[in-house]
Amino acid sequence: MSDPMNSARQGFDPGRRNFLKAAGLLGAGAAASPRVLRALAPAEAQAASVRGEESSVFSACDMCFNRCGLIARVRGGRVTKLDPNPLFTKSRGMLCARGQAGVAQLYDSDRLKTPLLRQGARGEGKWKRISWDEAIALLSAKLEEIGKKYTRCGMLFSAGADMQSAFVNRFAEVYGSFNVTSHESLCLISGNRAFLDTFGEVPFADVLNSRYVIMAGANRFEALVTPDSMDMVEAMKGGAKLVVLDPRFTKTAAMADEWWPIRPGTDMAFMLALCNVIINEKLYDERWVAEKTFGLPELHEHVSAYTPEWAAQETGIPGPEIARIARELAAAAPASLVYPGRRTSDYENSTQIRRSFAIVNALLGNWDKPGGLLAARQVGVKPVPADAPWYDDNPETRVDAHLVPLMFEEEGSFVLTREAVITGEPYPVKGWFVYKTNPMQTAPDRTRTLEMVKAMEFVCVVDIQMSDTAWMADLVLPAPSYLERKDPCQALQGSSACACVVTREPAVPAMFESRPVFDVLKEVAGRLDLAEHFDFTIEEYRAKQLAALNGAADVLARDGVYYNPSKVYGIYDNMGYKTKSAKIELYNQRYITAGLDPLPVYAPPKSPPKEIADSAFRMVVGRSALVTQSSSTNNALLHELVPTNTLWMHPAAAARLGLKDGEMVRVKSPVGEGTQKLHVTAHIREDTVYTETGFGALSKGLSRINGNGLCIAAVLEGKYDSVTGNAAMHETFVSVTKAGGAA
């Protein structure tokens, strides 16, 4: 394996101590050697002097979705270091390991450098370097052709969580396709649905001011969310209590005040039992609940059978402990909460599971209060809508519409769209434009994604690296990394910390032949007679976004972040909730019309199929603070710390199967298999195995993770949340056997 720092070091170190090699033993010419100069200068000044003047550029991190404000230090035309912007309160002025490793992404030898046109079969890896003119002409022609042949909805657009993704969606809209998916339907939409359908909007957790937090289905000290992760530590320092339910002994579990290795898929039972105790013992603020919520009597009746003793059997957590936790939680209310979580793409009933989370919060009366759940604050960044044309020949709606009752129109469902593309029903979708998202790695059931790609006549991927999705594409276009880009503004809320705006200035010019997706789309729009919808520069776009925020642009230039001092608490003091009843809906009326349970009904998690029950495990997936799925695992600096992913298995289970720590195992599910190293550890339940996302890449363009570890997409079944169409990634049972061959 190559020296992980190799690429990142290029140009860092012009051989500062190698003079003797050149000068020989005799010091011939040594008078001018760096060593002599160094010997004559005070030690501290040495490093600085050889590198020249430093400049600092404000940007926002792109190593995950959090967008932490940063300052890029630039010397001699190279980014040497990324520092956190100390004024950026959403991240509490930090950059994590991934943020710090951004330099290695910028200077990664694996970056895409020129437009590439596929030559051999898909996935064969034969590419022809073409010019941008050819690439733009081809992309435009294909968009035109597919639009004509299959209507404009015959194109699918998928953009990742990027500050230029809005331009992809804008392009899709003016081009005329309804078919847009994002990473969200592989991630968070179940939770969003649940809280939106309870409170009328998706809240932020005021972890910092909370006195008691129950965290289930979330791993905040590893899967960092700003400012929640840091605020939780701070709150605990101040005496707040953290109770973690997780089948795995995560770092969050390790630091928590209590850890309960809950049986996977039974979180709802725990939450319903909390409701049972809180209601039966009248531990809630009766006046507040009566005034602000809808459906308490129905809930009361609904949870009457869900006693702690019942929940104990489901969850594996003793009943008296559940009751105690309920009492403690209620005693700390309203400065207490059940943490809503972020990735909720885990179960087929994830929306209802998270509804049970939301309902407990409602009973705590913590809405819009310190230490509770917070409403969205006003940031003031304006959307820049496009006056999209109307295409009469288009079908009525999205290709994945009506398959689940409460899909988010603007996110869709990747899993369901994939099925529609494969079957061609209800109408053909034959072209795919992908920007910085990688469903080949992140969507469960890779075999199906491959079939989807095969069903496509044309796939274009714009990315900074040869992702697995790019590897299967017809046309691959190199994008600059975030450190080379001028980006539009982004509005962010950091819980109670701030409501702010960030943007990006390029720290260095775009490298190689990379072009921002905005430039690409603008040019293509011009060729498709859509120029009027892209007749602006990034600067002009930003000006429109900031039109309502006087002086924000200047503040952004000065501080790298603009804060809107808008109201944090009490936003709802004189306002109804944005629900049908205008109250917090413990009981959701709309669910009845949608054919859904208006209150979350518990169903025990499925058991593994009988024939493999002895060697089957429920597979759960997740990540550490060093991993953002496949976009970070190939990063040289991070790869050194996380060289591969392993399969966590309990020692008792490993002993039963005769498997040893460190050996290679075959992980097999009904849809696929893969091999990886076994990590035998008591940090996981005996009935569950865990692995990390982002490994086992097919792409040979990802030199560090190609064929390294297990790709979760290869083994996870393509199940989905029946309410939103969100992927359901914890519904797969895998069998584990010795792979043969040493680790």
Partner 1 sequence: MKRTLSIGATVAVLLALFAGLSLAADTMGGNARKGKYLYRKNCRSCHGVDASDLSPASKTQAEWKKLYEGMDKLPCRAKWPAEMTAEDAKDTFSYLYDYAKDSPSPAKCS
Partner 2 sequence: MKPQLAMVIDSAKCMDCKGCMVACKVANEVPGGHFRNWIKVKEVAEPRPGRGRQGHFQPGACMHCDKPMCVDACPTGATFKDPKDGTVKIDRALCIGCGNCIPACPYGARYRHPVLKVADKCDYCPERRERGLLPACVDTCPTKARVFGDIADPDSEAARLLAANQGRIARVVRADSDTKPNMFYLADTAPADWPHKASITPPMLALTKWALPGVSALIGLAAAGVAAMAARRFLIERDGGGSGHGPGHGTEKEG
Partner 3 sequence: MKRFERHTRLDIAIHWGNAALWLLLMLTGLGLIKAEYNPLGGWYPALLRAMFGGGGGLLLAHEILGGLWILCLLLYLGQNPRGAAFFLRQVFAVDLARDVLWMVKKMVLMTLGPKPLKMIGLSTDLPPQGFYNMGQKAFAQAAVAGGFGLALTGLIMVWSQIGLGAESTWLVSWAILLHWIFAGLTFAGLLVHVYMAAVNPEERPGFRSMFTGWVPEDYAEHHHALWHAEVREQLPDERGIVPQRLGDRE
Among candidate residues 229, 198, 197, the one with its CA nearest the CA of residue 215: 229
Please name the residues in contact with 598: beta carbons below 8 A apart, sequence gap of 6 or more.
295, 298, 587, 588, 589, 591, 592
Q: For residues 72 and 56, is the Cβ–Cβ distance under 8 A?
A: yes
Cβ distance to partner 1 smaller for residue 545 or 688: 545
- Which positions from 641 through 660 interact with partner 2, judged by CB under 8 A? 641
Q: Which does 688 bind (CB under 5 to 8 A by kind): partner 3, partner 1, partner 2, none?
A: none
**49 scored as a contact of partner 3 (CB under 8 A):** no
Q: Round to whole Å and give the CA distance between 643 and 663.
A: 16
- Amino acid at site 30: A
Check if the beta carbon of residue 641 is closer than 8 Å to that of residue 671: no
Residue 357 binds partner 2 (CB under 8 A): no
Question: Residue 27 binds which entry of partner 1, partner 3, partner 2, none, with Cβ cut-offs from 5 to 8 Å by kind?
Answer: partner 3
Is residue 155 a contact partner of residue 432, using CB atoms and an 8 Å limit?
yes
Q: Tell me: does residue 686 bind partner 2 (CB under 8 A).
A: no
CA atoms within 13 A on the CB side of 126: 5
The SS3 assignment for 450 reads helix
222 binds partner 2 (CB under 8 A): yes
Given candidates 9, 16, 17, 606, which one binds partner 3 under the rule CB under 8 A?
A: 17
Residue 589 contacts by C-beta under 8 Å, 6 or more apart in sequence? 294, 580, 581, 598
Closest approach of Cβ 217 to partner 2, in Å?
17
- The site partner of 26 among partner 1, partner 2, partner 3, none (C-beta below 5 to 8 Å per kind) is partner 3
222 binds, among partner 2, partner 3, partner 1, none (CB under 5 to 8 A by kind): partner 2
Return the exposure string of 544-577: e unless at least 16 CB atoms fall within 10 Å of the residue's CB, then b. Answer: bbbeebeebbebbeebbbbbbeeebbebbeeeeb
Single residue of 12, 35, 408, 707 touching partner 3 by CB under 8 A: 35
Output the smallest distance, CB 635 to partner 3, in A. 26
582 binds partner 3 (CB under 8 A): no
Provide CB contacts within 8 A for 702, sequence distance 6+: 110, 465, 466, 467, 468, 630, 634
Report strand pairing: 672-680 vs 155-159: unpaired
Please say which residue, 309 or 513, places its beta carbon nearer to partner 2: 309
Q: Is 40 in the site for partner 3 (CB under 8 A)?
A: yes
Would you say 80 or 307 has its CB closer to partner 1? 307
Q: What is the 3-state secondary structure (H, E, C) of 23-84?
A: HCCCCCCHHHCHHHHHHHCCHHHHHHHCCCCEEEEEEECCCCCCCCEEEEEEECCEEEEEEE
Minimum CB separation of residue 40 from partner 3 in Å reads 4
Angle between helices 189-199 and 350-364 (to 10 degrees): 40
Phi, psi of 326 (to 5 degrees): -60, -45
- Nearest approach, Cβ of 43 to partner 3 (angstroms)? 8
Number of CB atoms found within 10 A of residue 2's CB: 10
Bond before 334 cis per omega within 30 degrees: yes
Q: Is 47 in the site for partner 3 (CB under 8 A)?
A: no
Residue 326 Cβ vs partner 1, minimum distance, rounded to whole Å: 19
Which residue stretch of 101-109, 329-337, 552-560, 569-577 sits at the interface with partner 2 (rule: CB under 8 A)? 101-109
Which entry of partner 3, partner 1, partner 2, none binds 376, CB below 5 to 8 A by partner kind?
partner 1
- SS3 for 639-699 is HHHCCCCEEEECHHHHHHHCCCCCCEEEEEECCEEEEEEEEECCCECCCEEEEECCCCECC
- Residue 21 in contact with partner 3, rule: CB under 8 A: yes
The reply to whether 139 sits near partner 2 by the rule CB under 8 A is no
Taking the CA atoms of 703, 707, 708 and 710 in sequence, report the sign of the dihedral they define. positive
CB of 37 vs partner 2, minimal distance in Å: 10
Closest approach of partner 1 to the CB of residue 645, in Å: 35
Residue 734 binds what, of partner 3, partner 1, partner 2, none (CB under 5 to 8 Å, by partner type)?
none
Residues 6+ apart with CB under 8 A from 606: 265, 731
Q: How far is the CB of 492 from partner 2 (least distance, A)?
A: 17
User: Which span sits near partner 2 by CB under 8 A: 9-17, 303-311, 411-419, 560-568?
Assistant: 9-17
The burial of 643, by beta-carbon neighbours within 10 Å (0-12 exposed, 13-18 middle, 19 or more buried), is given as middle
Smallest separation (angstroms) from partner 1 to the CB of 442:
23
Distance CA 647, CA 665 (A): 8
Question: Does position 50 bind partner 3 by CB under 8 A?
Answer: no
Q: How far is the CB of 408 from partner 2 (least distance, A)?
A: 31
Kindly identify the residues of this chain, within the stretch 286-325, that bind partner 2 according to CB under 8 A: 317-318, 321
Q: Residue 201 binds what, of partner 3, partner 1, partner 2, none (CB under 5 to 8 Å, by partner type)?
A: partner 1
Q: Which does 253 bind (CB under 5 to 8 A by kind): partner 2, partner 1, partner 3, none?
A: partner 2
Q: Residues 38, 46: contact at Cβ < 8 Å? A: yes
Identified binder of partner 3 from the candidate list 2, 6, 10, 18, rule CB under 8 A: 18
Per CB under 8 A, residues contacting partner 1 are 178, 196-197, 200-201, 298, 301-302, 305, 310, 313-314, 376, 378-381, 383, 385, 387-390, 396-397, 402, 404-406, 408-410, 491, 577-580, 582, 587, 590-599, 601-604
Q: Write out the H or E segment, with its range, that includes residue 269.
A: helix 267-280
- Contact string (CB under 8 A) for partner 2, positions 28-57, x = contact: -------x--xx---xxx-xx-----x---
Q: DSSP assignment of 554-603, as one string? A: HHHHHHS-EE-----S-TTTT---SSTTSSEESS-HHHHHTTS-SSPPP-
Does residue 29 touch partner 3 according to CB under 8 A?
A: no
84's contact among partner 1, partner 2, partner 3, none, with CB below 5 to 8 A by partner kind, is partner 2
- Per CB under 8 A, 233 contacts partner 2: yes
For the CB of residue 517, give the shortest distance to partner 1 in the complex, in Å. 21
Residue with tokens 């605990």: 236
- Does position 92 bind partner 2 by CB under 8 A? yes
Q: Which residues bind partner 3 (CB under 8 A)?
A: 17-18, 20-21, 24-27, 30, 35-36, 38-40
Q: Which residues bind partner 2 (CB under 8 A)?
A: 3-6, 8-9, 12-13, 15-17, 35, 38-39, 43-45, 47-48, 54, 80-84, 91-92, 94-101, 103-104, 221-222, 224, 229-230, 233-234, 237, 249, 251-261, 317-318, 321, 625-626, 636-638, 640-641, 682-683
